[in-house]
Structure 1
Amino acid sequence: MSRPVLYLIDGSSYLYRAFHALPPLTNRHGEPTGALFGVVNMLRATLKARPAYAAFVQDASGPTFRDELYADYKATRAPMPDDLRAQIEPMLAIVEALGFPILRVSGVEADDVIGTLARQAAAADIEVIISTGDKDFAQLVNSHITLVNTMTNTRLDEAGVFEKFGVRPDQIVDYLALMGDSVDNIPGVPKCGPKTAVKWLSEFGTLNGVIENAAKVGGKIGESLREALPKLPLSYQLATIKTDVPLAQKATDLVLRDADNTQLRELYARYEFNAALKDLNTAENSVDAMPSAPANIGGDVATANVSVPEPASLLDPELSRKGSYDLVLTQAQFDTWLQKLDAAELISFDTETTGVDPMLAEIVGVSFAVETGSAAYVPLTHDYPGAPLQLDRDAVLAALKPLLENPDKAKLGQHLKYDMNLLSRYGITVRGVRYDSMLESYVWNSTASRHDMDSLAKKYLGYNTIHFEDVAGKGAKQILFSQVDLDRAGEYAAEDADITLRLHQTLWPKIQAETGLASVLTEIEMPLVPVLARIEQSGVLIDADKLRKQSSELASRMLEQQQQAYTLAGRHFSLDSPKQLQAILYDELKLPTTLKTPTGQPSTNEEALEGLAHLHELPRLILDYRSLAKLRSTYTIKLPEQINPHTGRVHTSYHQAVAATGRLSSSDPNLQNIPIRTEEGRRIRQAFIAPPGWRIVAADYSQIELRIMAHLSQDTGLLAAFHGNQDVHRATAAEVFGVPPELVDGDQRRAAKAINFGLMYGMSAFGLARQLGIDRGEAARYIKRYFERYPGVQEFMESVRAQAHRDGFVETVFGRRLYLNEINSRNQGLRAGAERAAINAPMQGTAADIIKRAMIEVDSWLGDRSAHARMIMQVHDELVFEVRAEHVDDIVAGVRSRMAAAAELHVPLVVDIGSGDNWDEAH
């Protein structure tokens, strides 16, 4: 017979954790709801477990016995933020309405109340689950007491405590006392971290053992230990959870009451917890009927205008069940699936191949799904010894071609551009590309670090996918997919199609509920997919001989720089070795340390060398050497190696789901990082050439981010400058320096340009001073005069900061969002960085949206002119084309008008266009 369960909820811990983990949500009345939202969902998950006993334990106001022990206890804690304090009473009201007993005991902390109840219940053979994120509770864990963190869906039993901390539960107080706690201001041993504490306790067993053997500990940490000895007993007392608090209730008194659904309905409506309200309205007025949490917590998130990662404990278990998959080896099976595909409203499909480059890889098989949990894999070219007979590849592709090319048959995939490029080489032009789960995840929250299928399945479905390495192996032992056993390959490949469909069914409703995000997906990102596919398939022509010659010249220059460096240093050393360079600069040349590495060593990175360049010739020489080395390894050597043997051209890969602002990036080769202002960079661009009879045409938006700033800020001075077609940097210099525009000199224009662009990136007076080589006071005066002349810009920046703090995100003109996870961080550096991003993101993101819209429009217009022109590259704010020489004028006019019309701003969009035999000439 199973034992009854007592569920003890550390309300104080979860309130703080939810406050800092979730974006700062508000309801329509401006009341903060972020922490409340997190706690409510955790409580609803707890109710699903149906514990016999439960309590919500909250810190009471006033001092505790620990304050009497140590006057400075928690003295360093910042006061509770007002937005958090405002959520305490609503939280307790909801807790009460859900039926949880609430415990608050004066003179002790919530930890002590929980510790006392946990020990009492365990002694009575009641299973105890403490719901918390506080490591201090690990000291209570035993065979009857377990910790659960519902925010990370992790549990800690006795073995788990040792695995996580490296010590047993009975050693946790010793461990905490040694390390101290900066949050609670528990002294501990200065500079004693987890590894040191574990080492000492492994060697000496207990805190008393460490104290007794303090004389044996060497080094500076030993000195710190011996200095801390007088306070260690106090640290131990402060870290120990009391388990003998006199309480009015016993564990068996803590029985859940029936929920007050009328009160809950009112509270959920007020705080706009729509998914919770919907569940409540469809339940049968009993706790038993209440789900653990919304199957899709995006319901509440959407209302509150934020994106929150779904804790696994809040996910719909139906989404994580295994599917039933077919391995299609006969014509009859294939015909059955063709009928399913023909009848389906949406087809999720995927290809399996021999490699990651779609312009070189060979197709191995295809998989499909049309309903959740059901999918099929059609193997085509598995060729390992003993592989079963498979359907003919050409016949299968011929049968699928009408479906895949039908623009009215909606298609779905995960990173479908890859499959489109691959299939193009087999004569199939995929049309009807309606959704892409990777892009749905990206549009929903571009700040998320990963949008690959395995990560998304874990995050949104609670599903552990079969990884490629699971079936093909790793590293040198990895085999081609064509060598994978069909049974295993079939399960892996079919699962890809099935999980993609499940992700779409989870993500698309979230996005649909947000009009701005839905338009970003359906009007920008999805229409761009076939455009990028065509650009990648076209590729660009490279003059390999020119690059090889440049590579040789760069090598000669680098050799000269090495010799110069040896002379400056007074000895030979490796310019590529940070350690040797560190010794030269800081130990031998005695240059000051301006930056340090994470391990505390003097840095030799680019920023550090720039800071030293005015003090000695060597740092500048090293920077020049590194610049040439990077160009040589990345471009002059590598580009010729990347020429496709079948097409004779280089085919880059564009990435839509990488940059949080919406900017495209590229790889193999990375076209975004070729310098444009240096002679070496221009020579590399000269190697991007037009075929005989064609010309390269380059079209670049002029000062687009400054124009967007004028549009967003509505500053009259900036608007007038752009409408008057003025040199904006010269106009800014005239305003800042108080001189007529015609008298602005080069240094003044350069300073104004630095201000114009620097302020968009949140540059401080310190940063501007460093860039211009002036003192900070003078830089501050420049900025002050700038804002006096352009007050609309300052008002815009202040309003964006305020909106970011309120909503947790900023938006582009077209509704793309950038979430700012650290905007309300207590860490000033992180918060300042988020504020800088908040100012820049609307401009950079809007610029990204504009050029994407332009690409879609220009590509559509070029559809009937494909014999005369093709788009071959996108780099920053520039589009590059190959155009037949006799059609250059017509194409230039058409491209210019469509790029200029890609957005309706309060200032004109100006497009600079040139043409030439190579990219450099055209720019």
Structure 2
Amino acid sequence: MNEKRLFLLDAYALIFRAYYALIKMPRLTQDGFNTSAIFGFVNTLEEVLRKEKPSHIAICFDPAGPTFRSEADASYKAQRESTPEDIKLSVPIIKEIIRAYNIPILEVEGFEADDVIGTMAKRAEKEGFTTYMMTPDKDFGQLVSPTVLQYKPSYRGQDFEIRGEEEVCARYGIERTSQVIDLLALMGDKIDNIPGCPGVGEKTAIKLITEFGSVEQLLENIGSLKGALKKKVEENAEQIRASYFLATIRTDVPVEADPESLVRKPEDTERLFAIFKELEFKTLRDRVSRRLDSARQDVKEVKADSFPSSLFDFDTPGNVPESSPLEIQTAETSGLSWRVVRGKEEAGKLAESLFPVKRCGICFVAEGENDMDCLIKGVAVACSESEAVYVPADDAECMAVVLDTLSRNDILKISAQVKRDYVLASRLRTDEAPAIVNYNDISVAHYLLQPEMRHDVETLSALYLNYSCRPAPVLTAKRGSKTPPAGEEEIAAWATERAVVTMRLEAPLSKEIENEGMLSLLNEVELPLSTVLAEMEIAGVRIDVKALDEAARDLEKRLAEIEKDVYELAGEEFNVGSPAKVGEILFDKLQLDPKAKKTKTGQYSTSEDVLEKVAHKNPIVGKILEYRQLKKLLSTYLTALPAAINPATGKVHTVYNQTVTATGRISSSSPNLQNIPVREDEGRGIRRAFIADDGHLFLSADYSQIELRLVADFANDETMLDAFHNDKDIHSITAAKIYHKSPEDVSADERRHAKTANFGILYGISAFGLASRLGIPRSDAKELIDNYFATFPTIRKYMSDAVEKARENGYVSTAMGRKRRLPDINSKNPVVRGYAERNAVNAPIQGAAADIIKVAMVDIFLKMREKKMKSKMIMQVHDELNFDVVAEELPEMQRIVTEGMENAYSGRVRLTASCGVATNWLDAH
């Protein structure tokens, strides 16, 4: 390997990437300063320095003011939104940190960082360096050569990606990397507002460059093109040339540095420690503190009267903290030992070593996304917090020992994905006994603590253990990649490390769960629920393919009818599925909104929100929205569900996600069952296709208005409580109160308005939003909201009390202790603060509803298991549970399900659950 390795970092690309990666859960200091961009940038830099150990390095910034591109074309990057204030405040601090690392900063007036990187890369190439351009931007592909490589930052736990000539050419189907410029000149670049040739996308651009070799040759041979493409290129020749100019990265910038001067120099560790301490970066602070000379007893501390300021004052003396420095741990430094075990003799030894243990860590390895048909590679078992073994799936004797261990009640199994492990273990068993008992799941625990963060082993080990995990092995070779799948040794090393680290994480997470008062929620609800969800996934649900085909044909007929209606209303035929064409028809031809805004691509925005605002102006809008909805149903369910059927079981095995939603709700994927319309005509055909097994019945149980009932209880509203207690129509009662009339005199429209108010106002709907949803003037919507709060002052009080409680605590919680943290509740930005305030109101409602159905699911499942019933729980969708029921068990099942759901909550309001029975989901619901 070349010893001269120069790393050139694109500063702003990494800063913006870091900032937006944490946009939903920003890092804030105690003073409320957003440090997301700084934290992400520094972590990326630390990772590069630690993993790659560059001999030379520089960080390149865009200058303030215009560049030669913006001076040549005023539209260049003109569409970009202004830089967020938090980033503006962060950049001076980031530069100060870079100086503390003693890394050169390169910035040249009039030239972008891209051009500085391009210039330095070419200079270094001539001087025998191997250069790595660290940036995610695709335009850097044009600079790649045998000794100039693109080093793309890691994403969601994956490793960094290095792109050489072969990878760049394979990605775009080109012969040489310089043709990236030609491609960008034709297809444009939305991010930088490079127009390219309108109507020419990536595929067409590749085809043209493959045929002509370059933009220059293409423009000289326009005559050989045909039809519409010829016209596009001919009419936009000058724009293509201008785009080529804008897309070309300069390599002749007057940078006052040479590659040799960028040699890696010792950092100012004391200064870094002081900065990280002030920024409240505990892990980073501890990481650099270990690099301090142990003989040195003083570091510089920061004492700032106001924070943040554009620069820090680093000259105030201080002392080394009393706590000892924390070293970044790895498998090599933490004393982890592992081995692969096979055969009868090793099985005996494994059984002996596992017999006396009280807890063990587990990690299954499988290739494939769906747990019911993936290829199981093996399982790692940690016998202690420093030792683990890996058992290949094809070794029956050792695997039998593992499966026996998983089913033992006297051993605590610790996993990072126990639901998945349960499903995989069940597939390996030859009986129907529970696959895993007495377990803990660190991901589920952390989900309760921080629902909006990531819960993977890599994140948690860095957060709680200061430990850096091995990158995940490649199990399946990617198309076009020369990286072969990992061998057994590499897989075993990775899996055993995860088993050990998972085991180490259990103690700190359990302690935090206890401190937060969440032990009951974890042990009595969430952990038992993992088994319930796993068994539901294993059971699957049967699909009637013929019913789906029939529904698809009906839907295609309906789509054809809608298209005809749209053509008639538009006065011409056009592609209804094209957002660009829809925008032209609605806003150019029909002039539905003279102020309609265009996107960065120059097209009108035709999103659902935009169209709903003008729906009342012309019936064509409603037709287009209906067309889109039906088209989505056709592609997402009617044509996709048959392909999702497992050929071995004949059923669809959806994946239930327990640690995804911030509210505590369960979601599903592969396929997503939550978005199937409930009772509308378009959803009927889909629901009819979900059927019970032969000779069985389909039982569907659904809560009635659970969220409104909870609101009535939380607000202690007598009118609502009385309506629910006496089984009155809550929406008619609401309308009667608002419009000052008897429930019998309430019109259908008034009831509809009240229903929308009941659900919408609680979730912070504005007068504008309510007006759009109901198709009424904004003044009427405002009056409806005012009347609603005047009629139900207890609801307004509940909402204001919830917000105030959130301001005081920084979170809201349910009766069972589920918390939703709201770091933006005191934000000075009214938009950000408003979002947090709405969550403060609805999170306790959503969270309580989530708790209730989870409690019901666990209770029902345990009773079914206790009675050894053959019926199965097969689906959970929102507030609804579905079962495949053996006919003779029906009366008992109806009793167990109804009691389980209605008794899952004790409060001032009574919950009701209705049960329907048929042979399919539609008729049962």
TM-score clears 0.5: yes
Query: How do 1:524-535 and structure 2 match up within 5 A?
Result: 524-531=525-532
Distance (Å, rounded) in 2 between the aligned partners of 1:628 and 1:39: 41
1:847-891 CA-partner distances (Å, limit 9, x unpaired): 122221344456668887879999897664356899999999997
Distance 1:777 1:717, change over 3 A: farther
Aligned partner letter, 1:93: E
Among 342, 354, 364, the residue aligned to 1:341: 354
Distance (Å, rounded) in 2 between the aligned partners of 1:776 and 1:154: 52
Native 8 Å contact 1:176 1:239 kept in 2: yes
1:357-399 CA-partner distances (Å, limit 9, x unpaired): 999999999875536774354879x9xxxxxxx7599xx58x9
Native 8 Å contact 1:320 1:463 kept in 2: no
When structure 1 is superposed on structure 2, of 767-776 and 213-222 the one drifting more is 767-776
Native 8 Å contact 2:724 2:909 kept in 1: no
Native 8 Å contact 2:771 2:781 kept in 1: yes
Distance (Å, rounded) in 2 between the aligned partners of 1:894 and 1:229: 73
Distance (Å, rounded) in 2 between the aligned partners of 1:81 and 1:253: 34
Among 42, 45, 55, the residue aligned to 1:43: 45
Query: How do 1:225-240 and structure 2 match up within 5 A?
Result: 225-240=233-248
SS at match of 2:185: helix
SS at match of 1:343: coil
Among 113, 116, 119, the residue aligned to 2:119: 116
When structure 1 is superposed on structure 2, of 144-153 and 228-237 the one drifting more is 228-237
Paired residue for 1:899? 904
Aligned partner letter, 1:25: R
Paired residue for 2:322? none
When structure 1 is superposed on structure 2, of 86-95 and 404-413 the one drifting more is 404-413
Native 8 Å contact 2:567 2:573 kept in 1: no
Q: Does 1:501 align with 2:481?
A: no
SS at match of 2:254: coil
Deviation, structure 1 residue 509: 7.7
Distance (Å, rounded) in 2 between the aligned partners of 1:785 and 1:652: 47
1:211-240 CA-partner distances (Å, limit 9, x unpaired): 323344444443343333345544444333
Distance (Å, rounded) in 2 between the aligned partners of 1:669 and 1:212: 50
Paired residue for 1:297? none
Native 8 Å contact 2:799 2:841 kept in 1: yes
Distance (Å, rounded) in 2 between the aligned partners of 1:227 and 1:620: 34
Paired residue for 1:385? none
Deviation, structure 1 residue 87: 0.9
Native 8 Å contact 2:810 2:823 kept in 1: yes
Q: Does 1:172 align with 2:180?
A: yes
Distance 1:216 1:909, change over 3 A: farther
Paired residue for 1:210? 218
Q: Does 1:329 align with 2:355?
A: no
Among 430, 433, 439, the residue aligned to 1:434: 439
Aligned partner letter, 2:15: L
Native 8 Å contact 2:6 2:56 kept in 1: yes
Paired residue for 1:485? none
Query: How do 1:562-641 and structure 2 match up within 5 A?
Result: 576=556, 596-597=576-577
Deviation, structure 1 residue 356: 12
Query: How do 1:121-160 and structure 2 match up within 5 A?
Result: 121-152=124-155, 153-160=160-167
Distance 1:329 1:104, change over 3 A: closer
Paired residue for 2:473? 464
Deviation, structure 1 residue 28: 2.0
SS at match of 1:241: coil
Deviation, structure 1 residue 146: 1.9
Paired residue for 2:269? 261
Native 8 Å contact 2:186 2:240 kept in 1: yes
Deviation, structure 1 residue 770: 7.5
SS at match of 1:129: strand
Q: Give the RMSD, CA atoms, in angstroms.
A: 6.7
Distance (Å, rounded) in 2 between the aligned partners of 1:624 and 1:38: 39
Native 8 Å contact 1:451 1:657 kept in 2: no
Distance 1:709 1:213, change over 3 A: farther
When structure 1 is superposed on structure 2, of 892-901 and 100-109 the one drifting more is 892-901
Native 8 Å contact 1:447 1:819 kept in 2: no
Distance 1:892 1:444, change over 3 A: closer
Paired residue for 2:304? none
Distance 1:118 1:362, change over 3 A: closer
1:647-687 CA-partner distances (Å, limit 9, x unpaired): xxx99877344863544468999997696799989998999
Native 8 Å contact 1:76 1:185 kept in 2: yes
Deviation, structure 1 residue 113: 2.6
SS at match of 2:912: strand
Native 8 Å contact 2:638 2:686 kept in 1: no
SS at match of 1:899: coil
Paired residue for 2:754? 752
When structure 1 is superposed on structure 2, of 854-863 and 200-209 the one drifting more is 854-863
Native 8 Å contact 1:407 1:431 kept in 2: no
Deviation, structure 1 residue 751: 2.4
Distance (Å, rounded) in 1 between the aligned partners of 2:806 and 2:398: 57
Distance (Å, rounded) in 1 between the aligned partners of 2:86 and 2:671: 48
Normalising by structure 1, report the TM-score. Answer: 0.68
Distance 1:128 1:361, change over 3 A: closer
Query: How do 1:95-114 and structure 2 match up within 5 A?
Result: 95-114=98-117
User: Percent identity between the aligned chains?
Assistant: 29
SS at match of 2:86: helix
Query: How do 1:153-552 and structure 2 match up within 5 A?
Result: 153-167=160-174, 168-285=176-293, 326=340, 328-330=342-344, 332-348=345-361, 368-370=381-383, 374-377=388-391, 404-410=407-413, 412=415, 413=418, 415-418=420-423, 426=431, 428-429=433-434, 432-436=437-441, 461-464=470-473, 466=475, 498=496, 501=499, 504-505=502-503, 515=513, 521-531=522-532
Deviation, structure 1 residue 118: 2.5
Native 8 Å contact 1:53 1:252 kept in 2: yes
Distance 1:875 1:621, change over 3 A: closer
SS at match of 2:198: coil
Paired residue for 1:88? 91
SS at match of 2:58: strand
Q: Which runs of 5+ in 2 are unaligned?
A: 295-327, 463-467, 480-485, 584-607
Deviation, structure 1 residue 91: 0.9
SS at match of 1:169: coil
SS at match of 1:911: coil
Among 43, 68, 92, the residue aligned to 2:71: 68
Aligned partner letter, 2:166: A
Distance (Å, rounded) in 2 between the aligned partners of 1:537 and 1:148: 42
Deviation, structure 1 residue 707: 4.3
Distance 1:200 1:441, change over 3 A: farther
Distance (Å, rounded) in 2 between the aligned partners of 1:28 and 1:776: 41
1:215-269 CA-partner distances (Å, limit 9, x unpaired): 4444444334333334554444433333333343332223344322222112212
Paired residue for 1:9? 9
Deviation, structure 1 residue 31: 0.7
SS at match of 2:162: strand
Aligned partner letter, 1:53: H
Native 8 Å contact 2:577 2:628 kept in 1: no
Distance (Å, rounded) in 1 between the aligned partners of 2:64 and 2:812: 37
Q: Which runs of 5+ in 1 are unaligned?
A: 287-313, 383-389, 471-487, 563-572, 902-906
Query: How do 1:681-696 and structure 2 match up within 5 A?
Result: none
Paired residue for 2:55? 52
1:604-656 CA-partner distances (Å, limit 9, x unpaired): xxx999x99989999999999999999x999xx99xx99999xxxx9987734
